[in-house]
Amino acid sequence: MLNLLKNTLCKDSKERCAEILERNFGLDFGRKLGIVLLSSIIYMGASVSAYANIDLKGDIKQGSLIIGKTAPNATVTLNNESLKVSANGDYAFGFSRDDETQYLLNVTLASGEVFTKTLIPEKREYKIQRIEGIKKSITHPNVKAQTRAKEDRVQVKAARAITSNLTDFATGFIVPLNGVVTGVYGSQRFYNGVPKSPHYGIDYAGNIGDPVKAPASGTVTMWVPDMFYSGGTMIIDHGHGINSTFLHLSNSYVKVGDYVKQGDVVAAVGNSGRTTGPHLDWRINWYNVRLDPALALKIQ
């Protein structure tokens, strides 16, 4: 009877449950206290049962950001590695560009109930992009430049390792610049015919000074105006290891430690670093896992 009530009658608030029980069972005013108590139990049961199935948003494919939702006080593991879960049950993870691992997602509720799901990222085909006319000083930097680039990587790695309690990743992303897409995630680039590392962001064409908006709310964790390869570089933390990186900027309108809201203008398009022209390169990471911003934009 309890299961019947919670599945068919009480899918709204507990006050609404009380109304439905009284109307359907003809209970008088003197028993309303009992109705409210019973409806509270039913409503709580319905709330827990809502998390019986693992709730995930995002494509199960290479390069994808996955956003999960579970009950408060639940624990979540991915291949026996614990994932950070918010007080409201939000969590996130992602798959790298060439990930072919089979994953077991395990969700354990506070009641002790355990739910599992097997995840195998769908394999993708990536574009080949050939860029000619790149200066030798860019494709083969000198020792001084290599040392500088190594120092830059240390700063970026530290910013991406931040684990905050923010849950701004859970509300979705918007495009940071209204420009023509000129480069996509995962594409293999050949500079002057020589294969290089894959591209891990979305490139948007723009003019120097064009406004760059925060694709999701978060805290600015890094701003460096002159990195060797990426020039003006900013990182915004969206919580739980999910962060956005913006490359080749000409200016920043915020500082490290500032909390920005989705849609705020945070920087300006530039032509800084090693680039062939003004544009924005936007990237998303889950810690050190590089994700596809185009897939993140699809999550609602």
Q: Where are the beta strands (DSSP E) in 142-206?
A: 181-183, 188-191, 194-198, 202-205
Give the pLDDT of residue 136: 63
Beta-bridge partners for 204:
181, 280
Extents of the domains making up the chain: 2-48, 55-119, 128-296
CATH architecture of 55-119: Sandwich (2.60)
Beta-bridge partners for 130:
190
User: CA-CA distance, 181 to 203, in Å (whole number)?
Assistant: 6
Confidence class for position 39, pLDDT limits 50, 70, 90: very low
Give the pLDDT of residue 207: 97
Residue of 66 and 18 predicted with greater confidence:
66
Residue 235, both tokens: 């990182």
User: CA-CA distance, 6 to 211, in Å (whole number)?
Assistant: 50
Flag whether the pTM goes above 0.85: no
Give the pLDDT of residue 10: 46
Give the pLDDT of residue 127: 87
Which of 7-11, 22-26, 52-56 has the largest mean confidence? 52-56
Q: Please give the helix or strand (H or E) that residue 32 lies within, else none.
A: helix 32-49
User: CA-CA distance, 208 to 1, in Å (whole number)?
Assistant: 66
User: CA-CA distance, 19 to 39, in Å (whole number)?
Assistant: 9
For domain 128-296, the question of CATH label 2.70.70.10 is answered with yes
Give the pLDDT of residue 101: 97
% pLDDT > 90, the chain: 69
Does position 45 have pLDDT exceeding 50, yes or no? no
Q: At what angle do helices 32-49 and 14-25 cross, to 10 degrees?
A: 120
225-231: average pLDDT: 93
Which of 5-19, 35-49, 104-118, 180-194 bottoms out in mean pLDDT, i.e. has the lowest?
35-49
Give the pLDDT of residue 41: 38
Write the pLDDT tens digit of every residue in 129-159.
777 766 665 666 778 878 888 899 999 999 9
Give the pLDDT of residue 222: 98
59-84: average pLDDT: 97
Mean pLDDT of the chain, nearest integer: 85
Write the pLDDT tens digit of every residue in 246-276.
999 999 999 999 999 999 999 999 999 988 8
Does position 58 have pLDDT exceeding 70, yes or no? yes
% pLDDT > 70, the chain: 79
User: CA-CA distance, 246 to 204, in Å (whole number)?
Assistant: 11
Three-state DSSP class for residue 268:
strand
Query: Among 7, 103, 123, 99, which Cα is nearest to 56's?
Result: 103
30-38: average pLDDT: 42
